[in-house]
Structure 1
Amino acid sequence: FDEKRYFRKGEKPFMVSLNGVKLGFSVCEDIWHPDGWERFYALCGAEVLININASPYYVGKYQFRESFLKARAQDNLAYVVYANLVGGQDDLVFDGRSLIIDPEGRLVFRASAFKEMVKTVSLPLEKVKSKRLMDLRLREKRLDCPSFLELQDERALPYLEGEVEGELAEEEEIYRALELGLRDYFFKSGFKKAVVGISGGIDSALTACLAVDALGKENVVGVFMPSPFTSEESKKYAFELAENLGIELLVYPIDEVFNTYRRLFESEEINLAEENLQSRIRANILFYLSNRHHWLVLSPSNKSESAVGYTTIYGDMAGGFAPIKDVYKTMVYRLARYRNSIKPDIPEGLFVRPPTAELRPNQTDQDTLPPYELLDQILSLYIEEGLSKEEIVCRGFDRAVVEKVLDMLRRAEYKRKQAPLGTKITERSFNGDWRMPVINFWKG
């Protein structure tokens, strides 16, 4: 969506006649508009409208995409061939799912999601001619049309029916999007391995699974960094996860470094500064390994925590890439369940133990935050759906809780501005869709 910064707009249409079949080409959002290039090409006699695209993914987008492409095919009484990119670039992932729609608005071909493929499909063009004979819409206008570029292809090809790939369940679709986004970021950036801090929690467990599935277990290293507040339960889960995934697990206790800092600052109590200090010590270890071995540090920070600032800047939110950055905590659990349905690598206990950062004795996330089921609903209504505070309260949510969540969201803006990239899976991610200033007194 930044093309105008770098490219000059084209000056004339691109129309080709291949063996007498007239084709009209458009790019990306050209096809969004009912009276755009597709209508022009159809009025000039084009029977096939080809749209080349790099349409980034988010959950639910492809259903919307198919619905307006069907309208273009029906309105213009032509085949619509929609060719979409597959792969990851920075925070975006492109899901492919190229498709063909006939003049009646029926889907006759859909490619796989998140997978490159080449398919040949035969189009019975007599359907275009018969539909146009019976419909006056494309015969009423007359345009001064440029000539078509004439091309010939003498190959004799067999008639090949199109296949429509089925839809994916939401968890599988999101998991595959995250996997592809991480894989392309890693390999296109030229890293040797990825390193993940394994805490014994659900976020780092899902991040490690994504890394293994995307990069191969031989390219993933886990690091367990226990503090004085790390439970035996967390240690057990961390070692169990690493063994199940078949990855190397390095162990660096941080007790001595942590106590050195406390002596330096004459710190006798465990307050917020001491909690965050542990997280930052761990980040230093991970980035040392990154510098030493050219490994990519993967941050396990999720969208719920990032939204309300329940994450340590230069600590657990630091990294070269954050695979689950745009994933709400409730979806983290759903994705972990999905991953375990394929291969049960995540210890079952992680699904039932209360979420905890383990930065002070007997700590749980719900000491500070509303339950994630409630928190995620409020965040989604405000961020994705754009509802105001009053509108959310009118949905039946407690006013005090809504005000607390939105206040935390505003105050955490400066942290999010300094967070690493992570794959976008929602309509409004914190990467580029959430355009909020850091200094902001708006209380709506």
Structure 2
Amino acid sequence: MLKIAMGQMEVIPGHPDQNTAKILSMIADAKKQSVDLIIFPEMAVPGYLLGDTWEQSSFLKDCERYGQDIIDASTGITVMFGNIAIDWSKKNNDGRVRKYNALFTARDGKLVQPDNMPYPYVIKTLMPNYREFDDTRHFFSLQKLARELGTTPDQLLSPVTLKIKDRHYRVGCLLCEDGWSDNYEMEPIEMLRRHHKPDFFVNISASPYTLGKNDKRNRVFGAQAKDAGVPLFYVNAIGLQNNGKTIYTFDGSSTAYNANGDVCAVSEEYTETLTIIDLDSLDKSTPVDKSKEKDIAHIYRALHYGVKHFLENIRMKKVVIGISGGIDSAVAAALYAKVVGPENLLLVNMPSVFNSETTKGLSQQLANNLGCQYMIVPIQQSVDHTIDQLEHTPMTYLADGSTTNLSVSSFVTENIQARDRSARVLAGAAAAFGGGFTCNANKAETTVGYSTLYGDQSGFLAALADLWKHQVYALAYYMNEEIYGREVVPQGIIDIVPSAELSNAQNVDEGKGDPLKYPYHDYLFRSFIERWEKAAPQDILEWYAAGTVEENLGCEPGLVAKYFPTAKDFIDDLERWWNLFCGMAIAKRIQAPPILAVSRRAYGFDHREAQNGPYYTRRYRELKEALLNS
């Protein structure tokens, strides 16, 4: 009987001391339970998303020393763990020291060398260099090493042979991306299966959570186990890691698949745990029920875990939120109240002359429902003062001494209100309260920059900025029904028309609100950012000409005709938002707070962009001319 433990642990990026302490603690627990083999995640010692910390030689040497501590602790147990491996005698392509993303296997204080590898560890073969990943910047792959040695990866790829209880096991070891090989020129798992016939596979991972990823992994990894006819153990990290602009939760969900590809054991998500499996009875296990929860349940858990850990990381215990009576700030307030507690949450309503009694009343109702700290800070006096100063302070042209005065337009007045709320009231309140204030933007607003720079786009974190507006509404219902079990976000806030209330043109009592038609624009904007083959105006216009816009976007049928009676209306709307998406919105996103990622493509480092301005292809211009002249 071979007892295998999946050591699902929180990996704290850039802190090998804390990570190693956790690994050693879990090894000790595993020994007490007579575990034969314990497996830890990819880069369990240093963390994975570290930026250019990978260029610090002192940090690399520290990781080596902590790795040796783990090797020394392997007496009486076999330990597999992820760490950085360094060949100090060689260079990467950038001229810095050679680094490998590696899987180490230790037994009785010594490393077990893979059968054909030139090093005493397994080297990651496939280097992801898309989305949030930047592996080729830092690590040398097995592919490159094979070329350097004048051989091929399938000659170097080989099992780790373990002798446990007088029995030999050939283990096919993979690192994360090596199991996601569909779009690569080689399949490491197939090479191992074909040439070496392992007794089981191990995939150690540092795989961030995104909506739907676990279901896809179960399909892919389950098929791999079934095709090979042997079990597969996937061990993932939990925790929070980031690359500056985009923050990722790691949900764990470590999984054991039997030889039939069935899910036989799953570690609880976002939880440090040892999941122990008997290899010999794995095929007899009852497959785990993989019935699907609602997507919004997964999203809520990712947001709650991400916000909680982000606040812990920056040592912030108190939060200030500006609430307007709208859905975004209300959902943010309900979320943060669960994370920090109502006693540590201050909601601030900041009405101007344009704010209705309806939204002011809804703000009060939300605060009452949450039982948190609440204050009302009217801004009209300070806004009027700012406008008066700007319009009545002479502006002197120093070349000839002439003077003129600025004129503040209604549009500028809107921006003054937004900046007064954030840069003056919320920033001051947060400092006095001893915390920070949030950015409550959703993904649709972030896409087209429908926010005010240094105003409502400010804050320490944009927790909802990877959620489309319809997901924000779904989250409101979910928290009311499942998390609180009562109406916390007032139904009136859910029902009211979304509006910034910055002018009479946005009077909610008259049904006037944002220029965004969220049932349509959520899906249009999603095609710009989340499709793997990103859509551009040419694609949208081709779908319009073919009458398949809703089908391709995935929105409700009939919306195009409802919102855009003519081709000109449709084209004008498309160009309005495309110009913003490729224009001013980029400048705003660059300066925006970090975003907590939950989707397949979040803004920030996940979506790399340059300020090049909008572009329309020749084909687009031809289609536009034809449609307008038809």
- The answer to whether TM tops 0.5 is yes
Q: Does 1:310 align with 2:471?
A: no
- Given the alignment, which residue of 376, 392, 399 partners 2:571? 399
Q: For 2:281 and 2:171, how far apart are their aligned partners in 1? A: 12
The corresponding residue for 1:112 is: 268
Q: Does 1:103 align with 2:276?
A: no
The corresponding residue for 1:345 is: 488
The CA deviation at 1:37 is 5.7
- Given the alignment, which residue of 178, 184, 207 partners 2:332? 207
**1:231-242 equivalent positions in 2, closer than 5 A:** 231-242=356-367
Q: For 1:429 and 1:435, how far apart are their aligned partners in 2? A: 10
Q: For 1:4 and 1:18, how far apart are their aligned partners in 2? A: 39
The corresponding residue for 1:121 is: 277
Q: For 2:575 and 2:503, how far apart are their aligned partners in 1? A: 27
Q: Does 1:246 align with 2:371?
A: yes
The corresponding residue for 2:211 is: 59
- Cα-Cα RMSD: 2.6
**1:206-285 equivalent positions in 2, closer than 5 A:** 206-266=331-391, 271-284=410-423, 285=425
The CA deviation at 1:308 is 1.1
Q: How far does the alpha carbon of each residue in 1:329-381 deviate from its partner, in whole angstroms, 9 at most, with x for none? A: 12111111111213310111112211111111241697662411111111112
Q: Does 1:383 align with 2:529?
A: yes
The corresponding residue for 2:38 is: none
- The amino acid that maps onto 1:199 is S
Kindly tell me the number of residue pairs found equivalent between the two proteins.
413
The structure-2 alpha-carbon separation of the partners of 1:356 and 1:364, relative to structure 1 and needing over 3 Å to count, comes to: farther
- The amino acid that maps onto 1:306 is T
Q: Does 1:298 align with 2:470?
A: no
Q: For 1:82 and 1:294, how far apart are their aligned partners in 2? A: 42
The CA deviation at 1:55 is 0.7
**1:74-93 equivalent positions in 2, closer than 5 A:** 74-90=226-242, 91-93=247-249
Q: For 1:57 and 1:337, how far apart are their aligned partners in 2? A: 23
Q: Does 1:443 align with 2:616?
A: yes
Q: Does 1:372 align with 2:511?
A: no
The CA deviation at 1:289 is 2.9
The structure-2 alpha-carbon separation of the partners of 1:358 and 1:17, relative to structure 1 and needing over 3 Å to count, comes to: farther
- The amino acid that maps onto 2:448 is V
Max Rg structure = 2
Q: For 1:362 and 1:407, how far apart are their aligned partners in 2? A: 23
- The amino acid that maps onto 2:595 is G
The corresponding residue for 2:180 is: 32
- The amino acid that maps onto 2:313 is K
Q: For 1:242 and 1:73, how far apart are their aligned partners in 2? A: 52
Secondary structure at the aligned position of 1:423 is classed as: strand
**1:317-328 equivalent positions in 2, closer than 5 A:** 317-328=457-468
The structure-2 alpha-carbon separation of the partners of 1:288 and 1:98, relative to structure 1 and needing over 3 Å to count, comes to: same
The structure-2 alpha-carbon separation of the partners of 1:297 and 1:42, relative to structure 1 and needing over 3 Å to count, comes to: farther
The CA deviation at 1:296 is 2.4
Unaligned runs of 5+ in 2: 1-47, 55-83, 85-98, 103-118, 123-159, 392-405, 550-559, 561-569, 618-630
- The amino acid that maps onto 2:494 is F
Q: For 1:165 and 1:64, how far apart are their aligned partners in 2? A: 12
On the 8 A contact 2:207/2:250 being kept in 1, the answer is yes
Q: Does 1:427 align with 2:600?
A: yes
The structure-2 alpha-carbon separation of the partners of 1:439 and 1:294, relative to structure 1 and needing over 3 Å to count, comes to: farther
The CA deviation at 1:268 is 7.7
The structure-2 alpha-carbon separation of the partners of 1:38 and 1:120, relative to structure 1 and needing over 3 Å to count, comes to: farther
Q: For 2:174 and 2:572, how far apart are their aligned partners in 1? A: 51
Q: For 2:282 and 2:498, how far apart are their aligned partners in 1? A: 61
The structure-2 alpha-carbon separation of the partners of 1:108 and 1:42, relative to structure 1 and needing over 3 Å to count, comes to: farther
The CA deviation at 1:41 is 7.5
Secondary structure at the aligned position of 1:120 is classed as: strand
Q: For 1:26 and 1:4, how far apart are their aligned partners in 2? A: 23
Q: How far does the alpha carbon of each residue in 1:259-295 deviate from its partner, in whole angstroms, 9 at most, with x for none? A: 1101101288651111011111111222223334441
Q: How far does the alpha carbon of each residue in 1:35-78 deviate from its partner, in whole angstroms, 9 at most, with x for none? A: 31674378545423222222111112222222221232123332
On the 8 A contact 2:222/2:261 being kept in 1, the answer is yes
The corresponding residue for 1:179 is: 304
On the 8 A contact 1:108/1:164 being kept in 2, the answer is no
The corresponding residue for 1:336 is: 476
TM-score, normalised by the number of residues in structure 1: 0.85
Q: For 1:256 and 1:162, how far apart are their aligned partners in 2? A: 65
- The amino acid that maps onto 2:500 is A
The CA deviation at 1:12 is 4.4
Q: Does 1:409 align with 2:581?
A: yes
Larger RCO, structure (CA 8 Å, separation 6 or more): 1
On the 8 A contact 2:174/2:188 being kept in 1, the answer is no
On the 8 A contact 1:71/1:105 being kept in 2, the answer is yes
Secondary structure at the aligned position of 1:187 is classed as: helix
Q: How far does the alpha carbon of each residue in 1:119-170 deviate from its partner, in whole angstroms, 9 at most, with x for none? A: 322232696xxxxxxxxxxxxxxxxxxxxxxxxxxxxxxx987755643211
Stretch moving more, 88-97 or 237-246: 88-97
The CA deviation at 1:116 is 3.9
On the 8 A contact 2:209/2:248 being kept in 1, the answer is yes
The CA deviation at 1:88 is 2.5
Q: How far does the alpha carbon of each residue in 1:150-201 deviate from its partner, in whole angstroms, 9 at most, with x for none? A: xxxxxxxxx9877556432111111111111111101121112111111111
Q: How far does the alpha carbon of each residue in 1:231-261 deviate from its partner, in whole angstroms, 9 at most, with x for none? A: 1111111111111111101222212211110
Secondary structure at the aligned position of 1:210 is classed as: helix
Secondary structure at the aligned position of 2:309 is classed as: helix
Stretch moving more, 250-259 or 70-79: 70-79
